[in-house]
Structure 1
Amino acid sequence: MIRTLIATTIFVIALPFISLAGETEKIHIELDGEYLTAEISNAPVIKVLKELSAVCGAEVFVDASIQNNTISSNIHSLPVEKAVKRIVSPYSSVAVFSQRTNANGTKELFISDIKVFESSKGRDNVQYVNVSSSSTDSSGSVEDKPKKSQVYQSPFRVPPPVPGVHAKGSYAEKAQKRINEKMIESRIKKIAYMRSKASMEENRVRKEITRLKIELSNAALEDRRELSADLSAKTRELYNLQKRNITRIQNEERILRQLQARQQ
């Protein structure tokens, strides 16, 4: 009886430690074009941002006071800016967009810098640490150095004009309009391509569903259960595919509307 009581007591005491041991650190981040998927569990902010930098190729800076805090997140196929905001929640983030020339010789915007900071401090009153995979500064501390190619800083919107600098008819305003025109043209082409690709993907799954329905109607009784399971799986696949494609296209259309509004 006493031995049983001792064993039970030890087991009860050990339970919290077993629970803590189960909270393992996990970081998995994937980039598919302009969309990010991440599975993060109980990981320090600094480790997550280092992986994010390696995957996205951006310079990443973090508020030194929160770099060792742990975060968890699970997101699927979100635009990079929105994904970063979700990943670092409850902290704030800002993306810095810059301009570059791609392989086709046309200019495009890309995320060159990401800053993560404690919301209550504001992004300008922070001691930042560079956690980028390309950083060679052993101390990690960096000064804010604006890039010559920097266009704007904003996670989700096209920035408002700056009085004087973007005055009507000024060189800066004309240059910004030309950039916007290129971005609008590129975005329209991208949306058309995405619609075409989505249609092809969905039609492929629809053909599979049609084939399975025909096979199911002609199948023997013992084969119907397996075919029904395959049909249900394909139906779910089509639903998820349509949902993903609609979300992606709507995100691109929202950005396009913002750009078009700036041209008016």
Structure 2
Amino acid sequence: MKPYVVYSVITGAYDKLLPLDIAESDVDYILIVDNAFSGEVPPGWNLMKLPESSLSHKDLNRYIKMHPHLLFPQYECSVYVDGNIQVVSALKDVIDNALASKDIALYKHYKRDDVYSEASECLELGLDYFWRVIPQMARYKANGFQGNALYEASVIFRRHHSCDLKRAMELWWKEYLGNARRDQLSLTFCLSTANVIVNNLGISDPRIEQKYFVKKTHAVYRPDKLSVRLTAKLNKLLLAVLPQKKLVK
């Protein structure tokens, strides 16, 4: 079994492939793309093309993000990085440290520290619909989920063969498909449900410290600005007149 894989996903030409000037003997760098990809692959990346899928570009991206245990059975550990994040330093030692005692390691959210505040922000910004977010958060509260940890899902270190972690990832996919299409809202709940303890890596490296990763802008803006504004206005109206608004506060 190989030790490490670092992988990124580009679907629907949403991101432009970022250069990789790193060579590590124990780490394979794999770029996963769909049929919309037509660019050249810079040195350092190995290309993996996906077969046709009935999933949307976004949902296909999330499936790949959540299933390293199915995609990379030959590797012990994986690091997922969003398509708009550039790897700027060697990662072998970082992976070893991140996964020394836990099966998953994440950077904390750069602004908020609980899931329910993030849900409120998503509603106010129009990033998802009221009728998806509110029932989801209500169910989490009814299950006793405190929501007092929020992580960024743009870089994910995993020892992905852990049975509990595989269960958490399958649940994450199920929660994502059946609820809000904001995967950060369900990640902590799924990990908690599967009894997976997170190694909190602290301040967001891609956004702030940028020692190993640098966050770039997406090549294509998504979602549509008008659609987001209309969703935000609709959510605001519903939050003002319905009592369920308290569930995400």
TM-score, length of structure 2 as denominator length: 0.25
Larger Rg: 1
**Normalized per residue, which structure has more helix?**
1
Bigger relative CO (Cα 8 Å, ≥ 6 apart) = 2
